[in-house]
């Protein structure tokens, strides 16, 4: 007799979610129950119901010896079928929409905090016409730092709890850059931040600091990217990706 879970996976590959869900309603014994719950979570994710997906995935991970996630189910599908399944269910569109809303919220929050800082410090903006050239080095360096922390979080679960504390420590670090000294040019993100400061408040575009910040930003981005790639490969081999 064919395993109903195998039949459900085959139906999911064909995009027949309702038929697959009907097969998954009957409880299973032992490890098969964890697989059933994970497959139900996969169905809910394709519906766009991420809250139910998370609940089912956590319960499946609790019951299974190896935690199961939507990622693992995607690996179990044939090549490209996982991505096609997500796209067919509209989940990719939902994820991009959520990412766009989050980015908009971050932009509004950052603009508000920037305005408050200007008001509190009494600094008046006198931007250089080419001030936007300072943004790429800052973005590269910031993204590199984010990728670095993300890579560490993949392998060390508790790092996630320390990220907020690290961000708090960065506040006095960046405030100290206001009293600029030549040696600070070699500190992380410092040259790009100082170049942006001069371009926005003194109409000065320091090409030396800008070039140094760009080189440093590229190096930080590559460091963070390859660390994340290495950690990603490592956790896949160990089968612990489902913990996160």
pTM of the model: 0.55
Residues 142 and 45 in one domain: no
Does pLDDT of 243 surpass 50?
A: no
Looking at residue 124, its pLDDT comes to: 77
Q: Which of 122, 150, 164 is closest to 229 using CA atoms?
A: 150
- Encode pLDDT of 114-137 as tens digits: 788 778 777 777 878 888 888 888
Residues 230 and 133 in one domain: yes
What mean pLDDT is predicted for residues 35-45? 83
Residues 199 and 157 in one domain: yes
Count: domains in the chain: 3
Tell me the CA distances in angstroms from 94 to 13, 134, 233, one per residue in order. Answer: 20, 33, 27
Residue 28's domain comprises 4-88
Residues 78 and 168 in one domain: no
Residues 58 and 76 in one domain: yes
Residues 134 and 225 in one domain: yes
Average pLDDT, the chain: 75
Measure the CA–CA gap between 88 and 83, rounded to whole angstroms. Answer: 8
Please name the residues in contact with 140: beta carbons below 8 A apart, sequence gap of 6 or more: 214, 217, 218, 220, 221
Residues 135 and 236 in one domain: yes
For residues 5 and 35, the answer to whether their CB atoms sit within 8 Å is yes
Residues 170 and 218 in one domain: yes
């Amino acid at each position: 007799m064919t395993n109903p879970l195998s039949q459900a996976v085959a139906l999911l590959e064909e995009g027949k979610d309702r038929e697959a869900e009907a097969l998954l309603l009957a409880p299973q014994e032992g490890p098969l129950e964890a697989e059933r719950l994970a497959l139900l979570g996969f169905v809910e994710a394709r519906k766009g119901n991420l809250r139910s997906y998370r609940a089912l995935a956590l319960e499946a991970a609790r019951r299974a010896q190896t935690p199961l996630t939507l990622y693992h189910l995607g690996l179990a599908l044939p090549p490209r079928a996982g991505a096609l399944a997500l796209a067919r269910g509209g989940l990719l569109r939902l994820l991009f929409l959520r990412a766009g809303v989050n980015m908009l919220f971050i932009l509004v929050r950052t603009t508000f905090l920037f305005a408050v800082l200007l008001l509190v410090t009494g600094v008046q903006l006198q931007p250089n016409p080419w001030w936007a050239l300072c943004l790429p080095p800052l973005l590269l360096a910031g993204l590199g730092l984010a990728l670095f922390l993300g890579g560490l979080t993949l392998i060390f679960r508790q790092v996630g709890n320390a990220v907020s504390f690290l961000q708090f420590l960065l506040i006095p670090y960046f405030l100290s850059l206001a009293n600029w000294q030549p040696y600070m040019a070699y500190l992380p993100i410092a040259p790009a931040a100082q170049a942006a400061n001069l371009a926005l408040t003194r109409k000065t575009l320091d090409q030396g600091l800008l070039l140094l910040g760009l080189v440093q930003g590229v190096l930080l981005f590559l460091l963070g990217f390859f660390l994340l790639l290495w950690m990603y490969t490592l956790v896949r081999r160990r089968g612990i990706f489902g913990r996160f």
